[in-house]
């Protein structure tokens, strides 16, 4: 049975084995990464089910700036957090679902461990945070959702000010609860990608990041991009599903994700705009990397890192 090794993690993350810390390697060694590649009728069944769900519009859609879905979702995480007495495990986003097949290197695979995706993300996040956010004194997560990332970043860098921004109140309440319950140096604030708050103070040298948040903006990300260009953070790190990077003309597994992006009206056009801005001397691309790993429906962890100039 194939299994992910440290060198595979390095390849997927877009780094080299020697740049994986001992802590990261230890975390990798603590979990079961065995999986089997789905083939034949089993693979066909997964793809047919996905395509039928797409055609019948049984996937959640981004439409009309409707906040209700996120108010319910992050409200559930807030309720779980309060009922658990403030346990950070209660903040795990519910879209990371145990036991399902995942995407890996352009195939559907069935992990042996039902918590394969959540364990993988924990290691990916730890690597990303230590590799890219270390040294920043002001860190902003836009679309902070359940507060899962805000809590982790604040724990890793207690001397940094970490702000969690989201367009619904339950998400803000989670961040404020993290400050009160755990003494973390965090603050929550409402923020709407479609109507950015120009009064938000962003100190010079700040870092901003998003994780599966800009996907919800579809093609309506121009206002947020202009906001970033005005505020001029030192670095922008986007960990998102990227429509343009699927090999949908040659790979059926990729095609299902590409089609899901279209039907759900997910993020598109942004990478090309950053390339255009770089040619104009208004931006510098730091890293682009398709992350060949994802959930059943799509790859949600690709990297587009850049900075305004």
Kindly state whether residue 153 falls inside one of the protein's structural domains. no
204 is written with which tokens? 């010079």
Low-confidence residues of the chain, pLDDT below 70? Answer: 58-65
Residue 304, pLDDT score: 98
**Number of structural domains in the chain:** 1
pTM of the full predicted structure?
0.94
**Residue whose entry in the numeric block shows the structure tokens 């986007």:** 238
Question: How far is residue 284's CA from residue 274's CA, in Å, rounded to a whole number?
Answer: 8
**Residue 37 confidence (pLDDT):** 98
Residues with Cβ within 8 Å of residue 103, at least 6 apart in sequence: 109, 253, 257, 292, 293, 294, 295, 296, 298, 299
Q: What is the pLDDT of residue 270?
A: 97
State the maximum Cα–Cα separation within the chain, in Å, rounded to a whole number: 55
Residue 84 lies in a domain: no
In a domain, 128, yes or no: yes
List, in order, residues 6 or more apart from 188 with CB less than 8 Å away.
144, 147, 163, 164, 165, 166, 171, 172, 173, 174, 175, 176
* Residue 251, helix vs strand vs coil: coil
229: tokens are 């260009």
pLDDT at 195: 94
269 phi-psi bin (left φ>0, alpha ψ -120 to 50, beta other): left
- Coil, strand or helix at 294: strand
Please tell me the predicted confidence (pLDDT) of residue 58.
Answer: 60
Considering the domain boundaries, does residue 248 fall inside one?
Answer: yes
Q: Is residue 161 part of a domain?
A: no
Residues 36 and 1 sit within 8 Å (Cβ to Cβ): yes
Question: What's the confidence (pLDDT) of residue 15?
Answer: 96
Look at residue 26 in the predicted model and tell me its pLDDT: 95
Q: Is residue 172 part of a domain?
A: no
Q: Is 57 left (phi over 0), alpha (psi -120 to 50) or beta?
A: left
**What's the pLDDT score for residue 264?**
84
Q: Quick check: is 286 in a domain?
A: yes
Question: How confident is the model at residue 99, as a pLDDT?
Answer: 95
Confidence (pLDDT) at 67: 81
Distance in angstroms (rounded) separating the CA atoms of residues 164 and 161: 10
Query: 51-94 pLDDT, tens per residue?
Result: 998 888 765 555 556 788 888 888 999 999 999 999 999 998 88
For residue 97, the enclosing domain spans: 6-60+92-143+191-308
pLDDT for 278 equals 98
- Per-residue pLDDT tens over the stretch 143-178: 999 999 999 999 999 999 999 999 999 999 999 999
Here the tokens at position 122 are 């924990």
User: CA-to-CA distance for 290 and 296, rounded, in angstroms?
Assistant: 16
Using left for φ > 0, alpha for ψ between -120 and 50, and beta otherwise, residue 187 falls in beta
Whether 114 is covered by a domain: the verdict is yes
Number of residues written out for the chain: 309
């Amino acid at each position: 049975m194939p299994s992910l090794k440290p060198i595979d993690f390095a390849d997927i993350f877009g780094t080299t084995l020697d740049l994986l810390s001992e802590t990261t390697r230890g975390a990798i060694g603590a979990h079961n990464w065995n999986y089997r590649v789905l083939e034949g009728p089993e693979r066909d069944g997964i793809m047919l089910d996905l395509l039928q769900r797409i055609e019948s519009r049984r996937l959640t859609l981004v439409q009309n700036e409707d906040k209700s879905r996120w108010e319910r979702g992050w409200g559930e995480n807030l309720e779980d957090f309060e009922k658990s007495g403030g346990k950070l495990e209660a903040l795990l986003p519910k879209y990371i679902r145990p036991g399902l097949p995942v995407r890996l290197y352009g195939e559907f695979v069935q992990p042996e461990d039902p918590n394969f995706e959540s364990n993988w993300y924990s290691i990916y996040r730890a690597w990303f945070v230590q590799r890219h956010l270390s040294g920043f004194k002001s860190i902003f997560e836009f679309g902070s959702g359940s507060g899962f990332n805000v809590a982790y970043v604040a724990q890793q860098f207690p001397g940094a000010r970490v702000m969690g921004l989201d367009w619904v109140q339950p998400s803000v309440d989670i961040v404020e609860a993290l400050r009160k319950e755990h003494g973390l140096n965090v603050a929550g604030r409402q923020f709407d990608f479609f109507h950015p708050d120009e009064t938000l103070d962003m100190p010079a040298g700040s870092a901003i990041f998003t994780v599966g948040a800009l996907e919800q903006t579809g093609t309506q990300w121009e206002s947020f991009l202009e906001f970033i260009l005005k505020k001029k953070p030192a670095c922008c790190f986007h960990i998102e599903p990227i429509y343009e990077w699927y090999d949908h003309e040659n790979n059926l597994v990729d095609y299902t994700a590409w089609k899901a992006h279209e039907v759900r009206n997910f993020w598109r056009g942004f990478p090309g705009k950053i390339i255009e801005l770089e040619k104009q001397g208004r931006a510098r691309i730091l890293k682009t990397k398709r992350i060949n790993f994802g959930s059943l429906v799509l790859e949600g962890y690709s990297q587009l890192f850049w900075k305004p100039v």
